[in-house]
Amino acid sequence: MKKQAFWVLPVAAAFALSGCGSSGNESAGNSEGSGTAQEQSTETGALSAEQATAVVKSLVGDESNAQVLDGDTIKASLPDSQKLLEQMNIKPEKCAELVTQQGTQDLDGTNMAVAVVPGEGAETTTYSVTGFEDSAKLEQAKTMAEKKDLQGCDKFTMSMSGQEISASAKILDATSDADTTVATQTSMTVNGTEVPGGSYQLQGLVGDNAVVVAYTGGTEEKAESEVLEQLVGELNKAVAEVKSAAK
């Protein structure tokens, strides 16, 4: 059960403390695609490392300030991420292992790439693509995506070096061109001050691949439905890119 953290627990709070731009959060609101989409997904094989990197580069387009991380870079950073996350005091204690797994996932058998696009202030948009060559991990990801269980960790706090983050998450309803869509929103406060805009994350399964589009820290007042609509559009672009690259 603890492996469900890869999909359902919030990453935003963990990376807000570590200084890394990252994605949002927990829980899993799940929508199934049409039968046609599911039939097409069987032809969408796992992307190679090079293809995953090419897809995230395509998604950020001409954003000159985008930071693209390939699989080797991500894997090399895991030991440092683990050390940092282990220094955090997470309450309730039952959520600590789940949250820290966010930055210490075993990526063997997967091809992953991430692109981070900073905006105004703390605003960040993150794209990630993962191709599952390991069939067991693919099946695990599918099972996780269908879960709606936060395991009692829909609210928790994290503290380190004098900073404390309180986070709460909720499931959102969303559909996309992905075979399965998971949409979440997390609200956060840092040292008692609410983070404007919160954090949104859309995740989709596309055949043997997973794609994520996340948005954190926007200062402009936007309705939840408006943000969700924009992110669904971005996720649909990512789905199309994955399918094209997998041909």
What pLDDT score does 168 carry? Answer: 84
CB 119 within 8 A of CB 20: no
CA-CA-CA-CA torsion for 200, 197, 228, 95, nearest 10 degrees?
Answer: 20
Q: Distance between CA 202 and CA 78 in Å, rounded?
A: 23
Quickly tell me which residue has 């905006």 as its tokens.
Answer: 119
What pLDDT score does 220 carry? Answer: 65
- Residue pLDDT, tens place only, 116-175: 888 877 788 889 999 999 998 888 888 877 775 566 778 888 887 788 888 887 878 899
What pLDDT score does 127 carry? Answer: 92
Detail the DSSP E strand segments found in the chain.
Answer: 29-32, 67-69, 89-91, 110-118, 124-132, 155-160, 163-172, 180-190, 193-194, 199-206, 209-216
Ramachandran quadrant class, 166 (left: phi over 0; alpha: psi -120 to 50; beta: rest): beta
Q: What is the pTM of this model?
A: 0.77
More reliable by pLDDT, 226 or 149: 226
More reliable by pLDDT, 242 or 194: 242
What pLDDT score does 143 carry? Answer: 80
- Residue pLDDT, tens place only, 77-120: 777 777 777 777 888 887 776 565 545 567 789 999 999 888 87
- Residue pLDDT, tens place only, 9-50: 334 434 433 333 333 333 333 334 434 444 444 579 999 999
Angle at 77 between CA 72 and CA 82, to 5 degrees: 140
Q: Distance between CA 94 and CA 179 in Å, rounded?
A: 31
Cα–Cα separations (whole angstroms), residue 70 to 19, 51, 74, 184: 19, 10, 6, 25
Looking at residue 45, the DSSP 8-state letter turns out to be P
